[in-house]
Amino acid sequence: MYPLLRPLLFKLRPETSHDLVMNTLGLVSKSKQLTSLCAMLVGAKSQSRPAPTQSVQAMGITFPNPVGLAAGLDKQANACNALHKMGFGWLELGTVTPLPQPGNPKPRMFRLPEHQALINRLGFNSVGLTRFVNNLARADPEIIIGINIGKNAATPLNNAIEDYLIGLRGVYAQADYVAINVSSPNTRDLRNLQQHQALNQLLYALNLERQKLTDSTGKHVPLVVKIAPDLDRRQIDGIAAILRRNRIDGVAATNTTLARRSVEQHPLAHEVGGLSGPPLDDAATATVAALYQNLQGEIPIIGIGGIDSAQAALEKFQAGAKLVQIYTGFIYQGPRLIKAVLDALAPAAGK
């Protein structure tokens, strides 16, 4: 069905199309009958009960299948039930910030159809923690939920830790894991938090807070750090050491890229923001491989970036990813991409 809808949606501006789809899926998510119909229309099956050959154990969580939705699509936790019915093994929601904020001025999302790519500079547009958590209360409790947290744009970088602590406290009860976003290129200076001292201080503070929350709730929530693709090997190895030191449970590689090498002739290549889709694939896979060479499976890796086919997903797994996430490929191909990846993995999983 999506191949029929996409040409109509692509006649609209990218963010207008996005909002229309997410608002519709938000309405669908409020009705069990409509979410079941959604699954029938896209030809997907709910993945709430793990199939033996598809489930993956990572970070103490049983993921029904290894293909998740990347953060950035459902920023406000409105459409969980409908998205889950499309076949995702789990959903990562957000990025959510402590206080509501509009994000960057529009237009701030651009399609590069010739490259099956997107450029966005959304800038953590968020309804804020209170509304986000209220929205999330409508999600089916069987869905595995990761929640991606970030700082407000108005918060100075030297006060960023407090924003992340507020975020962790705010989502802890609802999250199966929490992803710490220090790699978006669309919030000023945010990527500076990937630098050695800043990252170490942030993760140390979050780990202390997590221990308090674990003690008070009896629930241990894994922490995942999401990093950029625009890092050299020395930086990646430094981050890996900090992840070990702070007992971080997972690493997501990668966020969007500032590089434009593969699209530099495109008329939109000059637009400020993060590039996603196939032009990111090689850099993201190289980052996964570098992390795996260092970590050797000690910390599971979520591979993200440029997955637009089963082959692209397999390359992430071969590089060392334990799980993968999709976003831009989903925009261009819809739920059939999930099915293609799972079908390709099924023979290997059955061996």
The DSSP line for 252-284 is EE---B---GGGTTSTTTTS-SEEESGGGHHHH
* pLDDT of 218 over the 90 cut: yes
**pLDDT by residue (tens digit) across 263-312?**
999 999 999 999 999 999 999 999 999 999 999 999 999 999 999 999 99
Helices (H), the chain: 2-9, 14-28, 32-42, 80-85, 129-136, 160-171, 196-217, 233-245, 281-295, 310-319, 328-333, 336-349
Res 50 pLDDT > 50: no
Are 331 and 69 spatial neighbours (Cβ–Cβ below 8 Å)? no
Long-range Cβ contact pairs of 231-234 (< 8 A, separation 24 or more) = 231/194, 231/287, 233/290
Residues of the domain holding 161 = 2-349
**Alpha carbon distance 139, 142 (integer Å):** 8
Q: Which tens digits make up the pLDDT trace of 87-139?
A: 999 999 999 999 999 999 999 999 999 999 999 999 999 999 999 999 999 99
Q: Are 287 and 231 in contact (CB under 8 A)?
A: yes
Contact (CB, 8 A) for 147 and 168? no
Distances (CA, A) of 80 to 23, 99, 131, 148, 295: 12, 21, 15, 14, 32
Coil vs helix vs strand at 347: helix
Bridge partner list, 58: 61
Q: 């109509």: which residue's tokens? A: 8
Confidence band for 1, pLDDT divided at 50, 70 and 90: confident
The string of pLDDT tens digits covering residues 332-347 is: 999 999 999 999 988 6
At residue 178, the pLDDT reads: 98
Q: What is the pLDDT, as a whole number, of residue 351?
A: 39
Looking at 29, 46, 183, 184, which residue is catalytic?
A: 184
Residue 239 has pLDDT above 80, yes or no: yes
From CA 308, how far away is CA 328, in angstroms rounded? Answer: 8
The answer on pLDDT for 52 being more than 60 is no
Q: How many CB atoms lie within 10 A of CB 231?
A: 22
Total number of domains in the chain: 1
Q: Which residue has the higher pLDDT, 166 or 35?
A: 166
* Residues 6 or more apart whose Cβ sits within 8 Å of residue 140: 48, 80, 81, 84
CATH (domain of 138):
3.20.20.70
pLDDT tier for residue 53 given thresholds of 50, 70 and 90: low
Token pair for 349: 């999983």
Reference 91, options 266, 327, 334, 299; nearest CA is 327
Predicted structure pTM score:
0.96
What is the reported pLDDT for 48?
A: 45
The SS3 call for residue 71 is coil
What integer best gives the mean pLDDT of the chain?
95
**pLDDT tens column, 141-179:** 999 999 999 999 999 999 999 999 999 999 999 999 999
* 184 tagged catalytic: yes
The percentage of the chain sitting over the pLDDT mark of 90, rounded to a whole number, equals: 91
Tell me the three state secondary structure of residue 181: strand
CA distance 66 to 60: 14
Look at residues 344, 332, 338 and name the one whose alpha carbon lies nearest to residue 112. Answer: 332
- The pLDDT value given to residue 153: 97
46, pLDDT greater than 80: no
Question: Which helix (H) or strand (E) element contains residue 95?
Answer: strand 90-96
